[in-house]
Structure 1
Amino acid sequence: MIVPAPATVRQAGVVVALEGAALVVVAVVLVVRAIGGAHEKAISGYGTAAWYSVMGAGVIAAGWALWTGRRWGRGVAVFAQLLLLPVAWYIAVGSQRWAYGVPLALVAVGALVLLFSPSALQWASATAQDPASADNSGPDTR
């Protein structure tokens, strides 16, 4: 049963989908650079692009799931935001690129605030109480 997602969950879905789209754009840039002859000793532009494409597709799927009211997208979205926070820290503090790291951290924290808002938690707990959910160990009585 799909319970309509509240506005906060749908907004988080948009943010998460845009993050996934950014990963796909980075993958395209890496492929274009590799085709243009930019080669690095430590990494493969094509391999990194493939990795970013797969991760971007997964994050886009999570954003779509949130937009359409599917609860599984919330876990993927929260995980992605929690992974972005140390990346933002490294960019801001480790690389001294505050202009990139701080906005990235703000986006990740903003998405987490949306995903843990009272309406989002109520939505997540309401769908978890579906009698036909996997959490129910009894027989299906539909």
Structure 2
Amino acid sequence: MQGTTALVIAAVLVVRGFAGADQHVVNGLGTAVWFVLIGGGVLAAGCALVAGKRWGRGLGVFTQLLLLPVAWYLTGGSHQPMFGIPIAIVALTVLALLFSPPTLRWVAGSGHRGPANATKPGPESR
């Protein structure tokens, strides 16, 4: 969801840039490139998690930890709680899910999808 949102924001910035929006204060096209790079990475991590790949979890945690100070600034420093509070709720919810017991059990496994074989001596290969 967050990666897709970043890509939508990038598209809006590109459209605004080509429509003639003022580029003196903020370069909308440059910001759009940044949103495409970051949003694409976050979207790839989300797709990896949905596909059962563990590498997406690290990027997901990192993204949520970066969004919490953004939410804090929007709520307090920028006085825009209508943006900051939903961002904080989403970031905290995703962090809670990424550190939930089922997720930690999934991460602790090494990819073996079946039950452990109790009859096999020696260390487990999963």
Q: What amino acid is the match of 1:90?
A: Y
* Deviation of 1:128 (Å): 8.1
1:75 is aligned to 2:54: no
Aligned with 2:110: secondary structure? helix
Conserved 8 A contact 2:11-2:32: yes
The correspondence for 1:40, drawn from 7, 23, 26, is 23
Q: How does 1:88-127 map to 2 (within 5 A)?
A: 88-127=71-110
Identity, % of aligned positions: 50
Aligned with 1:119: secondary structure? helix
Aligned length: 112
Bigger CA radius of gyration:
2
Aligned with 2:86: secondary structure? helix
**Structure 1 segments of 4 or more deviating over 3 A?**
none
| Gap regions ≥5 residues in structure 1 | 1-17, 130-142
* Deviation of 1:121 (Å): 0.6
Distance change >3 Å, CA 82–CA 128, structure 1 → 2: farther
TM-score by length of 2: 0.84
Structure 1: distance between partners of 2:110 and 2:85: 34
Question: Residues 16-36 of structure 1, C-alpha deviation per residue, up to 9 Å, x if partnerless?
Answer: xx1000000100111111111
